[in-house]
Structure 1
């Protein structure tokens, strides 16, 4: 088993959109975006819409959490992977499943009933906070920022 070349993992409930598909991909030098989410892995319409945002030279894969855990270690070293998940629970499931995640960019978690807003783009509830604390205990750096040129902030300082 080889260690996959994961450049960055990002939590963004919008998954692939302009900021992810252009700004982050270019900044990282990624050539593969892996979206790990059970629902999206089965939704070809949503996949097609996300594919349209990516430059032609960037490939995308849409895997369930289980499939991501099962295949990520088979990735070629030539694949420069930008891993995108919808929420912190998906990120935690991947980390606990053995995906070598050491740094997470927390980009966007929409406000909904029962969540408190901790930044202009991130809202959390108690379940989210517990998941972030578990990730921290597992040694994951948790960096809140929307775009690469913003100053990042440790999300634990805000929750």
Structure 2
């Protein structure tokens, strides 16, 4: 695996690494190197050497630094000279760049390939509101995407229960892993809320369309075999009851990713991210009877949880409340 060194003036490197792992999961062969006010170039260089020595593969190393020409860059560059056939340095580090680098390591084993790949994500991550301030994108030739209107049905790359719906972990780690062409929030409540709909559409990652539809509409779309050939759909649900209604209506899901269920009065919380009412438990049991499997993970890199055991603990805690 390509090793990554994140280097910065001050604690920025530690902070962006923490943020990246919150979104994408714990990472191996990644080190943060900081230049603190009381330190000099030699301190940074020593830290970088120590970080490289800790990597499983010291032949392939990618440096992500904050400023071109700054001390972290200069010290990385001094080490780079002896390895410039394989190592790479990218400056202007931001969170989209780091997350893209994490994702790219799953399929790329050369530091220079990853360096070239992450530049687009870094640039696309810089946006502004009001949108009128954003520079105009180069015009593209007119025409419809190849998959638009093609005969066939959706391919469902992920169906996820997440009370936060479209947020950082979904817009980055899950989309990088599953590569959807459309993100569809399936919710009667959100479909009636124009503000939430707009915010979800704005949160879609570059190149992916985001939609909000009521459950009835999703059932109709799932049965349409004339317009969605080649379309890879990532479905987001707020709760298990909505998933159950969709599946019973004919949306052909086989596995449900259970990511986050917020706590509210009357619910029990058998782990850090999942809270259940009796209605929630009953909905999961019904889905299991229908043959659905459960993939309990916040991000792709997490170990899968045992849904049967989680539901058992939740039921026991609810029974104690009676």
Q: Same fold (TM over 0.5)?
A: yes
The answer as to 2:298 corresponding to 1:146 is yes
- Higher mean C-alpha deviation, range 122-131 or range 74-83: 74-83
3-state secondary structure, aligned to 1:121: coil
Gaps of 5+ in 2: 1-150, 312-322
- Higher mean C-alpha deviation, range 40-49 or range 99-108: 40-49
Bigger proportion of residues as strand? 1
Specify the alignment match of 1:47 in structure 2.
197
In angstroms, what is the RMSD of aligned CA positions? 1.4
Specify the alignment match of 2:174 in structure 1.
24
Report the alpha carbon displacement of residue 113 of structure 1 after superposing the two structures with TM.
1.2
Specify the alignment match of 2:230 in structure 1.
78
Distance in 1, matches of 2:174 and 2:254, equals 18
3-state secondary structure, aligned to 1:81: strand
Deviations 1:100-120 (A, max 9, x none): 010000111011111111221
Contact 1:3 1:100 in 2 (8 A): no
Distance in 2, matches of 1:58 and 1:4, equals 15
Distance in 1, matches of 2:295 and 2:192, equals 29
Report the alpha carbon displacement of residue 20 of structure 1 after superposing the two structures with TM.
1.0
Gaps of 5+ in 1: none
Number of aligned pairs? 159
Determine which structure has more spread, i.e. the larger CA radius of gyration: 2
Distance in 1, matches of 2:306 and 2:159, equals 15
Report the alpha carbon displacement of residue 3 of structure 1 after superposing the two structures with TM.
4.5
Structure 2 CA distance for partners of 1:55 and 1:153, relative to 1, 3 Å: same
Q: Which runs of 4+ in 1 moved over 3 A?
A: none
Distance in 2, matches of 1:37 and 1:140, equals 20
Contact 2:255 2:295 in 1 (8 A): yes
Distance in 2, matches of 1:152 and 1:73, equals 31
Structure ranking higher on relative contact order (CA contacts 8 Å, 6+ apart): 1
Contact 1:145 1:151 in 2 (8 A): yes
Deviations 1:40-61 (A, max 9, x none): 1122211221222222310011
Structure 2 CA distance for partners of 1:25 and 1:113, relative to 1, 3 Å: same
TM-score by length of structure 2 reads: 0.48
Bigger proportion of residues as helix? 2
- Higher mean C-alpha deviation, range 54-63 or range 93-102: 54-63
Distance in 1, matches of 2:223 and 2:309, equals 32
Distance in 1, matches of 2:256 and 2:274, equals 14
The answer as to 2:209 corresponding to 1:59 is yes
TM-score by length of structure 1 reads: 0.94
Pairwise mapping of residues 96-107 of structure 1 onto structure 2 (< 5 A)? 96-107=248-259
Specify the alignment match of 1:69 in structure 2.
219
